[in-house]
Amino acid sequence: MMTVSSATPCVIQLRGTDCQILPNFSLADQTSYRVGGQAQWYAAPRSWEALQATFEWFQTQDMPLMLLGAGSNLLISDRGIDGLVLSTRFLRHRGFDAETGRITVAAGEPIASIAWQAAKRGWRGLEWAVGIPGTVGGAVVMNAGAHHQCTADCLISAVVLSPDGTKETLTPKDLNYSYRKSSLQGQSKLVLEATFQLEMGFSRQEIMQITQQNLQQRKSSQPYDKPSCGSVFRNPTPHAAGWLIEQLGLKGYRIGDAEISQRHANFILNCGQAKAQDIFRLIRHVQEQVESHWSLLLEPEVKILGEFSPLEV
């Protein structure tokens, strides 16, 4: 199953595959924030066979598992992550059924790319996803959405893999979807692929135009020039988190090189050499200020992983 050449941490080559399990792997370049420490072990399989071999190795270990897609909605501690970090970003395939309007895609496919491919066919239903920076797997887990639409609106099913190797197909009802939430959050089940039902028979030009307009709207209202995780907080209906933060005059507020965006107050930017701890402290500061003034506790949309020091100044 694996070959290990010494007792010290070393690269583990999974037999019969081109997949390696790497020790002490830096995660900073694997997240859109460009911060974070090392993974104790890291794997990024490129095939189902390599993925299965990785899970077989994991089952022989006594360690936690963290699943990583595009890393666009994560804040990873500077202290790193214990156990195995498994990335799905290289698990890719896509299939478009021209008779039914169904799309089946692997978890590692960028959801924005799938949105464009659907628009080019004149298929309606994913125009909202054109500016989402994550993968299909991440969209399924987070019930990603924009422009008053979300993953749950067009998802038919998702195939997931449990750490014990069990596969199951889940429907949106099984996933218990709500605003930016699903039953997969907090679990170690890995999304392998997802199937979406889109509407056919529309003008290609019309759907392309709507998709382009959605992208331009996001670019004009959100900062894309510096590393971020996108929206940091879930919107506490009926309020917008960004509006609440802006009313407190927090745009431009900084801790270290972490800054609340001047363009959109629900974005925290890495303005150069920010540490994960700086971003974490800024998140907590915003929560404290909003709770003090509005009696609302903002819930992070960004997934915070690893150990942080909330009282550290």
- Which has the closest alpha carbon to 87: 4, 191, 15? 191
- The helix (run of H) or strand (run of E) holding residue 103 is strand 102-106
Give the whole-angstrom CA distance, residue 143 versus residue 281. 26
CA distances from 161 to 39, 61, 165, 175 (A): 22, 18, 6, 14
Catalytic residue among 231, 259, 261, 281: 231
Among residues 89, 124, 180, 281, the one annotated as catalytic is 180
Question: Which two three-digit tokens encode residue 206?
Answer: 């019309």
Q: For the packed helices 111-120 and 204-221, what is the interaxial angle rounded to 10 degrees? A: 150
The DSSP bridge pattern shows strands 65-68 and 81-87 to be: parallel
CA–CA gap between residue 22 and residue 40 (Å, rounded):
8
Distance from C-alpha of 193 to C-alpha of 168, rounded to nearest angstrom: 11
- Give the DSSP H or E segment for 51: helix 48-59
> Is residue 33 within 8 Å of residue 229, measured between CB atoms?
yes
Of 109, 193, 259, 301, which is the active-site residue? Answer: 301
**CA–CA gap between residue 214 and residue 229 (Å, rounded):** 19
**Alpha-carbon gap, residue 23 to 132, rounded angstroms:** 31
Question: Is 231 designated active site?
Answer: yes
Active site residue 34: no
Q: In the annotation, is 180 catalytic? A: yes
- Judged by DSSP in three states, 240 sits in coil
Active-site residue list: 180, 231, 301
